[in-house]
Amino acid sequence: MKITIEKITPVREGEAVLLKITLTDGINVEQTGGEIASDLFFDMGFPMSAGEGIEISREKYEALEDATALTSAIKKGAELIGFAQNTKKGLVSKLIHRGFSKDISSRAADYLENVGYIDERTQAEQLCSELAERRLYGKSRIKNELYGKGFSDEAINAAMQLELDFDAICAERIEKTVNISDFADKVKCRKTVASLMRYGFSVQNIKNALVILKNE
């Protein structure tokens, strides 16, 4: 089987190349091709022009097919990110749901992260601040929320380093949702503390919050 790249055409302002490939066994001729991200294509050692044609091996052809599938997943991933923020884990899941293999989906997510389309650390920090300041969640609840949304350990650990005053946040939640006199009743106090802990606050957060409220 003779496999020849007949034409290499830059597309999308040079971000990708469109290939025209001919396969022949001397009798039958098949034409195929596809779009490949320029950096993937040139990293494989190909030139910018096919000239009179570039004959390639079956292995090279299969590598080009793989790069074509990867490019398709990258394009779809970039499109999905354009509609909403995604973690790598979430994006991989969406790409698999759209028919891409797990391997191609994972590699596409890696590619998009490397070129800056996915910034999990910034996303995690933004969500951490929002959950703390708007929804009045404590640290452990926020951490669980971030894990649930598929953020990496690295992104979550970075978000947990934000300087947030969880004592003050706990005090605000108590002020808005709890009758302060409930803390004087043993049964009600136990239930209230349990509720606050479900929202992610530690016992120390709660104690400090009560001091804050007492001093206001």
Query: What confidence tens digit (pLDDT) does each residue in 47-57 have?
Result: 999 999 999 99
Alpha helix (H) residue ranges in 98-185: 102-114, 120-133, 139-148, 153-159, 166-177
Per-residue pLDDT tens over the stretch 186-202: 999 999 999 999 999 99
What does pTM read for this prediction?
0.77
Cα(115)–Cα(48) distance, integer angstroms: 22
Closest CA relative to residue 112, chosen from 98, 92, 134: 92
% of the chain residues with pLDDT over 70: 100
Considering only the C-alpha atoms of the chain, give the largest distance between any 2 of them, rounded to a whole number of Å.
93
Residue bearing tokens 């499109």: 79
Both structure tokens of 36: 């490949």
Say if CB 105 and CB 95 are below 8 A apart: yes
Residue 85 scores a pLDDT above 80: no
96 or 85: which carries more pLDDT confidence?
A: 96
Residue 56, number of CB atoms within 10 A of its CB: 18
Per-residue pLDDT tens over the stretch 91-111: 999 999 999 999 999 999 999
Cα(70)–Cα(140) distance, integer angstroms: 38
User: In degrees to the nearest 10, what's the CA dihedral of 115, 42, 11, 22?
Assistant: -140
Both structure tokens of 213: 């409220």
The average confidence (pLDDT) of the chain is: 94
- What is the structure's pLDDT at 82? 80
- Residue 164 to residues 100, 119, 147, 152: CA-CA distances in angstroms? 40, 21, 19, 21
